[in-house]
Amino acid sequence: MSTFRFAEGAAMFDSTPIENLFLLEYLPIAPEAYLRVYLYARMLALHPELGGDMRELARALRLDEDAVYAAFAYWEQQGLARRLTDRPPTYELISPRADGAFAANPMERDYYAYRDFNASLQALFGAKVIESHEYRVANDWLNVLGYDQAAALRLAEYGIATSRSKEPGPVGVFKRMDKLAAAWADRGCRTLEDVERAIAERDGVNAVAQAVLKRFNLRRAPSLDELDCVKRWTGEWGYTEQQVVEACEETTKARTPTFAYLDSILKNRLNGDEVYWQDAAEALRELDGPQAQPTPDVLKRYAALRRQGFEKGTVALAAVQCRRKKKTRFEDVEWMLGQWAERGLFTEDAARRYIDDMQAKARRVRQVLEKCGLERRANMDDLALYEGWRQKHGEDVIDFAAECARGTRVPMKYADKLLSEWAAAGVKGVDDARARNEVRRAERRAESGAQKGAPANPALDYAQREYREEDFGDDFFFDVVKEYKDGGEEA
């Protein structure tokens, strides 16, 4: 005996007929509100005298007008309604039979071929209607990318589950998953089993990416490029999640840590540069303060210096010297080590002996500068001059030349000129230098006297008065005190 039947007299003539095919295939998956709209529209189609537009239909069903339009869009996608006009919108209802209107329209035939698939897609989104564009995207997964229907449905389901939105909509989900579907298809994903395996792999990668984002204090989902980075770290390079998260500590020097920055750090570790990280950090602290830490680029360059043969202490010593000169860039350390390399100073002991020697020379040159009347620190040009002087003269001769140069416009240049002349004249000691200097002074006085013997200026050749002692008698001066001691004649 059937569970349901009409009571006697209940089957009235003007009842609204509903096909069994609709009840079997469309009713189970149709959203409740859309089903109410469809059934009410079937009644209005039988009784056009009732009239009623979309607004009245919405009012009768106690729905928003937008919900009514969404319902008709849904039934259009299901192939049970077709829009005839836009202003005002009118529709005709189509029989759900397989030999109905679908046979006349190729696009609708394609839709009907995937009707169950499309209906299952719609069921995933509930009341949010999938538009034609999103259906075409999903159908391309089947026809173009080669997924089977179960795999494609799983893709859409995974897109909804991983959405950041509380109520994921078809537009965002299909846009995001279309890129992933193409990427997985390139890897050979076709079946539900393939997709499940790819999802499991991605979820593991996603967990690492989320851990990194948390360390970066970022509250968002990882991008596809960021997930590709994590996949490279955990797949190709073999890092564990813990190792990746620990490496995030080295990004603290960057103002805005990124996956690309972390990628460089992990790549340096892979190349073996990581073994120098602590040494590089110590050198940078000598250069730029106790909080300094090496960036991936600096670590790479530090490792290159060490591989050139510089010892750890040599690099640190160069950093100390640079900081004393108020140069705190790693490029300055590289430049200084380049100068040391030309002198073969790769070990810490050799570099320290060189520094001690240079500091002693700097102190000596400072004394020479003081004898020249200069109050400043020695620079590299001063040291170079001094090195040249020492090759030809003793220290006492150099001091004497500096004293002779005192008061000149450019003392160090003047001293250099003197010492060059003395070297050319064969001066051996300070006594010879003094004698040579006296000769030079005599020659200059002679030159000056010759200049004084030159013809006088005619303009100055005029008769001048000659004064005698009697010209300066008592009447030559006016004694103010004597003259006005009583206040003067008019007092």
The 10s digit of each residue's pLDDT in 172-184 is 999 999 999 999 9
Average pLDDT value for residue range 80-95: 83
Average pLDDT value for residue range 472-477: 44
Q: Which amino acid, residue 395?
A: E
Q: Which amino acid, residue 144?
A: V
Give the SS3 label for residue 167: coil
Give the integer Cα–Cα distance in Å for 247 and 66: 52
Give the global pTM: 0.40
Residue 146's DSSP bridge partners are none
User: Which one is predicted more confidently, 359 or 479?
Assistant: 359
Query: Does 454 have pLDDT greater than 90?
Result: no
The 10s digit of each residue's pLDDT in 295-342 is 778 888 898 898 888 999 999 999 999 998 889 899 999 999 999 999
Average pLDDT value for residue range 269-294: 82
pLDDT band of residue 27 (cuts 50, 70, 90) is: confident
pLDDT band of residue 469 (cuts 50, 70, 90) is: very low
Structure confidence at residue 8 (pLDDT): 57
Dihedral of CA atoms 381, 385, 387, 392 in degrees, nearest 10, equals 170
Average pLDDT value for residue range 104-124: 67
CB neighbours of 177 closer than 8 A, spacing ≥ 6?
155, 156, 158, 159
Paired tokens of 161: 């589950």
Average pLDDT value for residue range 374-386: 87
pLDDT band of residue 465 (cuts 50, 70, 90) is: very low
Domains along the chain with CATH numbers: 13-113 (1.10.10.10), 360-440 (no CATH)
Give the integer Cα–Cα distance in Å for 16 and 33: 18
Query: How far from chain centre, in Å, is Cα 74?
Result: 47
* Phi and psi torsions of 85, nearest 5°: -135, 160
230 and 212 Cβ atoms separated by less than 8 Å: yes
33 and 65 Cβ atoms separated by less than 8 Å: no
Give the integer Cα–Cα distance in Å for 239 and 169: 36
Structure confidence at residue 437 (pLDDT): 82
321 and 355 Cβ atoms separated by less than 8 Å: yes
Burial class of residue 440 (count of CB atoms within 10 Å of its CB; 0-12, 13-18, 19+)? middle
One-character DSSP codes across 396-422: HHHHHHHHHHTTSSSHHHHHHHHHHHH
- How far lies 395's CA from each of 355, 391, 419, 440, in Å? 21, 10, 12, 21
- How far lies 335's CA from each of 201, 338, 341, 361, in Å? 47, 5, 10, 21
Give the integer Cα–Cα distance in Å for 6 and 489: 158
Dihedral of CA atoms 94, 98, 104, 108 in degrees, nearest 10, equals 80
Give the integer Cα–Cα distance in Å for 171 and 131: 8
CB neighbours of 183 closer than 8 A, spacing ≥ 6?
224
Provide, rounded to the nearest whole percent, the portion of the chain with pLDDT above 70.
Answer: 84
Average pLDDT value for residue range 13-25: 78
Residue 85's DSSP bridge partners are 90
* Phi and psi torsions of 176, nearest 5°: -70, -45
Secondary structure E strands in 270-369:
none
pLDDT band of residue 148 (cuts 50, 70, 90) is: very high
Longest Cα separation, the chain: 171
Query: Does 464 have pLDDT greater than 80?
Result: no
Give the SS3 label for residue 388: helix
Give the integer Cα–Cα distance in Å for 108 and 398: 105
* Phi and psi torsions of 377, nearest 5°: -80, 155
Rg (CA), the chain: 50
